[in-house]
Structures are given as C-alpha cells and as structure tokens.
Amino acid sequence: MLQSRRFATAKFPSETFYCYPTRQFPSKRPRLSKMAQVTKINVKTTSQKYLIHIGEGLVKNLNQILNESGSSERHVVISSQPIWSIHGSEIQTALGKTDLVLIPDGETAKNLNTIATIYESLIKLGADRSTTIIAVGGGVLGDVAGFAAASFLRGIRLVHIPTTLLAQVDSSIGGKVGVNHQLGKNLIGAFHQPIAVIADPLFLQTLPRREFRAGLYEIVKYGVIASQSLFTQIHDGLDQVFDRKPEVLSKIIAESCQIKADVVSKDERESGIRRILNFGHTVGHAIEAVTEYRRFRHGEAVAYGMLAASYIAMKRDLFSSENHAALFSLISQMGPLPSVSDLSISALLKAIHRDKKIIKGKLHMVLPIRLGETTIVNDLNETELREAIVTIGVPKGR
Ligand code: NAD
C-alpha cells in the first residue's frame, strides 16, 4: 500500500473579493535578469495556430512576443492578488502601462460569480473586441480568465502566462477554459485557444513545494502515456528536478508541452486521441469529488488515479509488473500524498459513474500498456475497480 501521510485539509486563499480594475504603472526593479534559450512549440488546432514559448527570463520579452503573436495594443491583465504581489512587477515592467483586474484565487473562486465580476471590470475599462486578455496565474486563474475571454463580446483574444507547473505543462495548452458549478467541477466552459502561451520556469521558484509536486505528477503522466524517456528523466533525476534548476525545468516542461501540443493538435475537442490525457483521471476525479475539491491538489488525485489504472493494467497483463513498480516507486519517492484511508469505495464508485468518462453507458478508462503507450478500455468491471481502489489505500468494504 502506498505510504501516505495525512495533510491538513488544503486551505484555499482568502475569499476576499479583489475584483476591481486598476491602472497600474511601471514599478520596482525587474527580478528576471537572465535571458536563456527559448523553445517554441507549435500548437495547430483547427480553430487557432499558436506558439508555446518556454524559457528562463522570457517575460522580459513580453511585448515582442505579444506583437509577434498578433496581439492587439490594448491589453487587460487578469491575475490574483497573491500571484500579482509576487510576480506582478516583472510583468508590469515588461508590459508598461496596462489595465489590471485582480480576481480571487483558488478552486472556490472558480465560478460564475467571478466571471460576472470580470465582465463588469472589462465593461468599466471599456474593453472591446480588439482587447487581448493576458491571464497570469495557475490553472484556476487561466481557466477562469480564459472563459471570460471566450465569452466576453462572443470571444476576445487570450494570452496565457502560466505561473504554476501544472498550468505551464497542462492547463494553459489546448483551449479548455471554464468554471465549476456547485453540482460539479468544470461543468461550464468552452474551447477557446490562446494566441500564445508564455511559460517561464523562473516563476516556479516561488511555488510552494506541494504545488510544484502537484504539477510534477502531470509530467509523470505524460511520461507514462507518451514518452518513456521523459519518465526516465524524472525517475533518474528527481533530486535535480526538485532543485528547480531552470534549465532542468525548461527541458521537462518543453517535452511535456510538446506531448500536449501534439495531442490537442490532432484532436482539439477530445473526440479521440485527446482522451489519453485522462490517464489517472477516472479515479483521480472521483477522489477530488468525494473530498469536495478541498483536500487534494488535482495532480495528487491524478497520482492516485494513475496507480489505480496501472494496477488494473497489470492485473490484465497489459502492463508489466516492473513498469507498475517503477511508477509506484516514482510516485512514492516524490513525497507524501494526502491520505485516502477515510474514503469510501462506494462513494468513489458513485462519483466515477457520474463522471464525464461514461460514454453510451460504458465507463472508459485509459490504461498503460508500456511506459510511453496507452490503450482505452470500455469493459471495466466493478470488481477490478474496487480492487484497484483498495490497493491505493482506501479501506475495503466501506
Ligand atoms: P491553482 O491555480 O489553484 O494555483 C495553486 C496555488 O498556487 C494558488 O494558491 C496560487 O495563488 C499559487 N500560485 C500560483 N503561481 C504561483 C507562483 N508562481 N508562486 C507562488 N504561488 C503561486 O492550481 P493549479 O494546480 O495551477 O491549477 C488547478 C486548476 O487547473 C484546476 O481548477 C483544474 O481543473 C485546472 N486544470 C485545467 C486544465 C485545462 O485543460 N484547462 C487542465 C488541468 C487542470
């Protein structure tokens, strides 16, 4: 059984509402003094072609990147108070005078109320169809600001500047934007591709270790579904990854982005291959749902979900026991996961059956067949799901 230690229930940042338009002026010294190699990755979906720019100190060149991406002169930055207080001055210095809308942070603020306040701010600022929204923050901020961009005036341009590892390798790419409904996560949304994604690993230096690790689980996911070499890099170089050396991070971020870019370029709307990105999400989403999105970071729940899926694949002789052990050992070495020992199997099974992965009454699940390749099955039975859930630490019979 995976050794897990109980975390205090995840605390979301203050619910204080900061949503207001402010005029910002260049301030303070820029912290990003270094300009290193930049990797550019193409995303070519049917609705939009754009580049993901990855590199240390990239934000210094923000204006140039925006110009090259076809951004308008008029920008509105959307961020949150905690993120802006750490990284705002760098972006401000690079952008010059711009409009800023600060919204509340955290999963509890990912809702239509926040969207309404963004609309209000945009209207008060006189934003029009030529305005570009620049979303600066983690996955929550990007999803919320992205949905505002998708719907305001039937859609305006969007640039993502992701500041968490998860957002840099996952949520800022592929155009899924949206908010939660009180009856479920991400139930309201749209596909709205950005015109550029700007991922600077220097932002990750200030990320709490737990958030960093949560993003890293998604990189492990990319390794399992599409790249044995990425998996091995993390597995063999875990200490260096946790040291957060920007050159090490740039490399694994670029490889992850390339995988996501390739997948979403082939299947923008998740009707086929994009579903492989859901590896670990069947059980992962259920864990998040039964704990009301408060105890687990998304990546942590996906980590448990990957172990459960890997176990099922191993039991079906699709995935070798060595590979299952390698995944188990990597996830264990990455650090403690919040406990699942008080969760109920029947509640998890109910949540799994409510999830979006049921197609025509059949539950689909992505299973690994080797490191770097997966298959999708639709003939899961409850017994094997139960057994897999028990192996991750959920008590039998509850
Ligand atoms: P998050 O956006 O909640 O950010 C986590 C915390 O880190 C926040 O408290 C934030 O203030 C803080 N933070 C952000 N950047 C920081 C920095 N550089 N330094 C210090 N603190 C910083 O969490 P997340 O993991 O980035 O995103 C999770 C969200 O992403 C979920 O809502 C999930 O549904 C969504 N998501 C979307 C997609 C997609 O395709 N759109 C994919 C995966 C996940």
Task: For residue 62, give the nearest of 152, 160, 156, 149 by alpha carbon.
Answer: 160
Q: Ligand 1 pocket check: which of 16, 18, 83, 287 to mutate, most ligand atoms within 8 Å of Cβ?
A: 83
**28 vs 180, higher pLDDT:** 180
Task: Provide the pLDDT for residue 26.
Answer: 31
- 279: tokens are 């590896």
User: What are the helix (H) ranges across 125-200?
Assistant: 139-151, 165-166
Q: Ligand 1 pocket check: which of 164, 169, 216, 292 to mutate, most ligand atoms within 8 Å of Cβ?
A: 164
Say yes or no to pLDDT of 100 above 90. Answer: yes
Atom nearest to 204 CA in ligand 1: 18
Q: CB-based contacts of 249: which residues, under 8 Å, 6+ apart? A: 165, 201, 204, 241
Say what the pTM is: 0.90
Centre of ligand 1 from the C-alpha of residue 168, in Å:
9
Q: 152-201 pLDDT, tens per residue?
A: 999 999 999 999 999 999 999 999 999 998 777 888 999 999 999 999 99
Give the residue, by CA position, lying nearest to ligand 1 atom 42: 171
Class of domain 39-206: alpha beta
Say yes or no to pLDDT of 18 above 60. Answer: no
The C-alpha angle 243, 244, 246, rounded to 5 degrees, equals: 135
Domain range annotation of the chain = 39-206, 209-391
Give the residue, by CA position, lying nearest to ligand 1 atom 2: 138
Side-chain-facing half-sphere of 18: CA atoms under 13 Å:
20
Mean pLDDT of 194-214: 97
CB 165 within 8 A of CB 207: yes
Say yes or no to pLDDT of 398 above 70. Answer: no
Centre of ligand 1 from the C-alpha of residue 11, in Å:
14
Say yes or no to pLDDT of 5 above 70. Answer: no
Task: Provide the pLDDT for residue 89.
Answer: 94
Q: 251-267 pLDDT, tens per residue?
A: 999 999 999 999 999 98
Centre of ligand 1 from the C-alpha of residue 122, in Å:
23
% of the chain beyond a pLDDT of 90? 78
% of the chain beyond a pLDDT of 70? 89
Answer CATH for 209-391 from 1.20.1090.10, 3.30.70.20, 3.30.460.10, 1.10.1060.10:
1.20.1090.10
